[in-house]
Amino acid sequence: MDNREHADDILRRALLDKEATAAVALRVAGLPLCEQLTVVFHGRRDLGTIQTYVAHGGRGAGSAVGPDELLRVPCDLDLAAAEDREEAEQLYAEQAAAMRDALVGADTVLDIWREPLQDLAHSHVEIDRRLVLDVDLPAHRLLPAALVAPEKRIVVTAVCGARPLAEGRPPMGIVCAQQDVARVYPLPDDPERCLEDFLEQAAEHARRAGERLAHQEVSVERFLELSGDDFPQAG
């Protein structure tokens, strides 16, 4: 759901209709960057989906979690192939493990990026734990955390492709973003090489933007020169 307000409204209504919904929490601890996360699998009979959310901290049974604390990750459970409860439990265990492994892998890699980003940005790198970032990303976020180099205005975070967990771990990557420039790199790539490439791409984008601005300014200047008292009327 790209419309967050619509997604939040559905989640609120689902939490009120307990007979048609169910939620299962999976805690993921020992993460180097996020420390501890909770995956919430939330099933709704009317939607026919078991949606996946990620929240900070370790949440257990009976814990209250507000919609503004949940990051929607489009990697949902699919238990339709189960013939009975036992098979459903097995499928759940396999798919939940795939989600857990994806989070552990992404968090570990993102933590590895912290030092190279700090070295290339020549500034302190902060950990942004907000669910909504100040930049647009070309893919879905996987973790509710991002690395931010404030002086360079560079944001680095983990992203994933949307697909059912029945197909295994989702395709993942690390995205670098700066204002209106963003680029996704494969998870196993070398952080330093990726950051150097991104800085080159951002510099090239800034150069082209500067050229366009200069071109537009000259065009306007010429137009103003033509728009004097002796400018011929059209038509």
Q: What is the mean pLDDT of the chain?
A: 84
Q: What is the pLDDT of residue 1?
A: 39
Please state, in angstroms and as integers, the Cα–Cα distance from residue 135 to each residue in 64, 65, 67, 91, 148, following that order: 29, 25, 21, 36, 11
In tens, the pLDDT along 187-228 reads 989 999 999 999 998 777 667 666 677 777 777 777 777 766
pLDDT band per the 50, 70, 90 thresholds, residue 6: low
pLDDT band per the 50, 70, 90 thresholds, residue 162: very high
What percent of the chain lies above the pLDDT cut of 90?
Answer: 54
- Helix (H) or strand (E) segment spanning residue 95: helix 85-121
Q: What is the pLDDT of residue 225?
A: 73
Between 210 and 107, name the one with better pLDDT: 107
Q: Residue 133 burial by CB count (10 A; 0-12/13-18/19+): exposed, middle or buried?
A: middle
Distance CA 183, CA 139 (A): 10
| Averaged pLDDT, 158-186 | 93
Name residue 176's beta-bridge partners: 156, 183
Q: What is the pLDDT of residue 74?
A: 95
Q: What is the pLDDT of residue 21?
A: 66
Backbone angles phi, psi at 180, to 5 degrees: -100, 20
Query: Is the pLDDT reported for residue 5 higher than 60?
Result: no
Distance CA 202, CA 179 (A): 9
Query: Is the pLDDT reported for residue 120 higher than 70?
Result: yes
Q: What is the pLDDT of residue 230?
A: 61
| Averaged pLDDT, 111-135 | 92
Nearest to 154 by CA among 188, 187, 191, 189: 191
Between 215 and 87, name the one with better pLDDT: 87
In tens, the pLDDT along 25-84 reads 889 999 999 999 999 998 877 667 789 999 999 876 667 778 889 999 999 999 889 899
Q: Residue by residue, what is the 3-state secondary structure of 208-230?
A: HHHHHHHHHHHHHHHHHHHCCCC
| Residue appearing with tokens 């669910």 | 131
153: left (phi over 0), alpha (psi -120 to 50) or beta: left
What percent of the chain lies above the pLDDT cut of 70?
Answer: 80
CB atoms within 10 A of CB 115: 12
The answer for residues whose C-beta is within 8 angstroms of residue 112's C-beta and 6 or more apart is: 191
Q: Tell me how far the alpha carbon of residue 174 is from its chain's centroid.
A: 9
Query: Is the pLDDT reported for residue 132 higher than 50?
Result: yes
